[in-house]
A and B are shown apart, each in its own frame.
Chain A
Amino acid sequence: MNNLFAVAGVVIKELYRRKDFYVLFVLTILICVVMGSVRIFNDAKIARYLKEICLLLVWISSLVIAITTTARQIPAERENRTLFPLLAKPLSRTELLVGKFLGCWFACGLALLCFYLFFALLAGSREQHWSFINYFQAAVLHWVMLGVVVALTLLGSLVFTAPSSNTTICFLAVAGILILGRHLNKVALHLPEPRRSILYAVYYCIPHLELFDVRDLIIHNWPPIPWRVCILATVYALAYATAFLIAASLVFRRKAIN
C-alpha cells in the first residue's frame, strides 16, 4: 500500500509543479470574470448563463488535465529510463499502474476542488444562495467520472505508441460518449438489423460518462439527486475504472518495457 501511495504522491507533485493546471484555472477565472462583468438589460441578478459557462470551462479543463496528465505517465517513465529502477524495487507492474491511477485521480480531485470552490463562490455571489449539496454531488460525480477517464487513458497509454495519439483518441472517445452516449439507443431503434443489434451492443458496452454530467441540474437549480442514485452511479463508474485497470494490467504484464 505504501508503494502505491509513494507512486501516487509523485504524480500529485508533478501536477502542482507543472503549469497546466494554473493556466487552465486562471483562464477559467478570467473568462468567467469578463463574462460576469457584462450587464444584460441592467439586471445584475442574471446568473445561469455564467454558471453554464463556468461549468463548461471546468469540464473542459478537468478533461484536459486528466487525459494529458495520465497519457504521459508510462511513456515518460519509459523515455526517461526511470521505469527500470522503479520496477527493480519491490514494486510490481500492477502496483505501479494502480499507483499511477491513484495519483492521477487524486490530482484531478485536487484540481476539481479548486474549480468547484471557485464555481460555488461565483454562483453564490450572483444568486445570493449556495446549494452546497448540489455542488458537492456534482463535484463527486464529476470526480468519479474522471476516474473512468484516467483508467481508460492509462490503458490507452499502454496500447498506443505515442502519448499524442492516445490523448487524441481518448479525447474523441470521451467527447463522443458525452455527446452521443445517451442517444445511441434511440438511433439504434431506427436502424435495420444487424446494425441495430451492433449499435445496441455498443450502447450497453460503453461507459456512460454522460450520467455524471449533472450540469443542467446545477445550472437550473433542480433539487439534489437522491443519494441512493449517486451511490449506484459511483459503483457503476468504479466498476468500469476497475475493468479498464485490469485490462491495462494484463497488457502491461505482457509488454516488453525496453
Chain B
Amino acid sequence: MSAPRVSCLLVAALAVLCFGLAAELDTWFQAWAGNRAQSADMLNVLLGDGRRMFANHFYVKADAYFHSGFYPTVFDNREAFQTAHMAEDSGTVGGRNQGEETGFLGKPRDWIDAFSRQFFPSEHTHLDQGGAQGQANGAGDLGEGSEVREILPWLRLSADLDPNRVETYTVTAYWLRERMGKVAEAEKFLRDGLRENPGSYEILYELGRVYSENKNDPARARNLWEAALRQWQRQEAAQAEPDKYLFNQIAAHLAMLEQKEGNYRQALVYLEMWKTRSPSPESVQKFIEEVRQKLDRGTPDIPRPADKKPTEAP
C-alpha cells in the first residue's frame, strides 16, 4: 500500500477511535459528581469549591463600601471591626466589636504617614447616614436616594461564591427591604438562601421580619418565627455557646407580635423564654409585669387557631 493511503486510513481509524471514546466518556462525564460543567454558575465552573475562600473577602469589601473606603487593613487594629458594621446595624447578628471604630489609624507615626492620609478615606462614615458626602435624605428611610445600594454587588457576589454563608443573605435582605424598599427582591433572595440552607433559623427569622414589618402579615410572620425558634432549639440549644442574640430576637419578636395580636398568655410564654437568655432580664421582667397586668385587667385574650405552646424552654 502506498504511504498516503496508509496515512489516510490511519487518520480515519484514529478519528473513529476518538469518536467512540468521546461517546463512551461523555455518558460517564455527565453522570460524574465532580462535573462542574453541569452548573450554570460561571464562578462554580471556574473555581469549584475554592470559590468559598473568596466569599469572605467580598463580604468584607461590602463592609468597606459601607464605610466609603475607610476600613482597616490586616496591618491595622481591627478590634472595632470584628463584626461587619453593616451586619451589626442590620440587627441580624450580634456584635463582637470593641474599641473606638473611628481611631484605628491612630496618630500619624511620621510625616509620610500624616501626608498620606490626604490621599485615602480617613474619616469614619456609614453609607446609610449619607456616606462620604453626608447626603442623608432623612432619618430612618433613605428611600431611592440611599447610597447603601453600593454594598449590594459585593454581597451578591459573596453569596454566589459561598451559598452556605447565611449571614450574607440576612444582611443583604435587611438593606434591600429596609433602606431601598425592595421587599420582593429581599424575599426572593432570602428564599434562595433558604433553599441553599434548609432549616436556617437566621433566614427564617429574617423572612418573618419581611412578613411582619413590610407585608403586614402577622400570621405568616408568626409561622416563620415559630419555625425559626424550633430550628434554633434543634441546632443551638445544646451548644456550649449558643447564639443567644438571635434567640432573644426571635423570642422578643414573637412576644411582641402575640401582645399586639392580643394573645397575652402566649406572649407571656415567649417573654419568659426571652428572659432566660436575655442580657438584661430586669427589663424583660418589666415587660412581663405589664403583660400580666393587661391579662389581669381582663383584656380579651383572643385565641388564635392552631395556638400551641413551644415544646420546651430553650
Residue B121 lies at the interface, judged by CB distance under 8 Å to chain A: yes
Known: A211-B115, A220-B68. A48 touches B150 (CB 8 A): yes
B170-200 residues with Cβ-Cβ distance < 8 A to A are: 176, 180, 182, 185, 189
The answer to whether B112 touches A203, judged by C-beta atoms less than 8 angstroms apart, is yes
Kindly identify which residue among A40, A203, A204, A222 contacts B156, using a CB–CB cutoff of 8 Å. Answer: A40
Q: A187 interface residue, CB < 8 Å from B?
A: yes
**CA distance in complex: A42, B183 (Å):** 12
When the two chains form their complex, are residues A186 and B76 in contact, meaning their CB atoms are under 8 A apart? yes
Which of A40, A183, A221 interacts with B75 by CB under 8 Å? A183
Given A186-B76, A204-B112, A220-B68, verify A49-B119 contact (CB < 8 Å): no
> Across the two chains, which residue of chain B brings its CB closest to A51?
B150
Interface majority SS on B: helix, strand, loop or mixed? helix
Q: How far is the CA of A232 from the CA of B112 in the complex (A)?
A: 12
Compute how far the CA of A187 lies from the CA of B69 in the bound complex, rounded to whole angstroms: 22
Residues on A with C-beta less than 8 A from B30 are: none
How many of chain A's residues have a CB under 8 angstroms from any CB in B? 37
Could you tell me the distance in whole angstroms from the C-beta of A114 to the nearest C-beta in chain B?
24
Alpha-carbon gap, A46 to B247, bound state (A) = 34
List the A residue with the shortest CB-CB distance to B185. A41
**A183-B112 in contact (CB<8A):** no
Cβ of A141: which chain B residues have Cβ within 8 Å of it?
119
Bound CA–CA A62/B131 (angstroms): 30
Whether the pair B69, A217 counts as a contact (CB closer than 8 A) is yes
Chain B nearest CB, measured from A232 CB (Å):
7
Contacts of B110 on A, CB cut-off 8 Å? Answer: 185
Q: B68 contacts which chain A residues (CB < 8 A)?
A: 220-222
A40 touches B153 (CB 8 A): yes
Residues of A within 8 A of B116 (CB): 182, 208, 210-211
A219 partner residues in chain B, CB cutoff 8 A: 69
Minimum-distance CB pairs A-B, first 3 = A216-B69, A220-B68, A183-B75
What are 16 A-B residue pairs whose CB atoms fall within 8 Å in the complex?
Answer: A43-B180, A43-B182, A46-B152, A47-B150, A183-B75, A189-B109, A216-B120, A217-B119, A220-B65, A221-B68, A221-B133, A222-B68, A225-B119, A229-B118, A232-B115, A233-B115
Known: A214-B119, A221-B132, A222-B69. 9 other contacts (CB 8 A): A48-B65, A183-B73, A186-B109, A204-B112, A208-B116, A211-B119, A220-B68, A221-B133, A223-B133
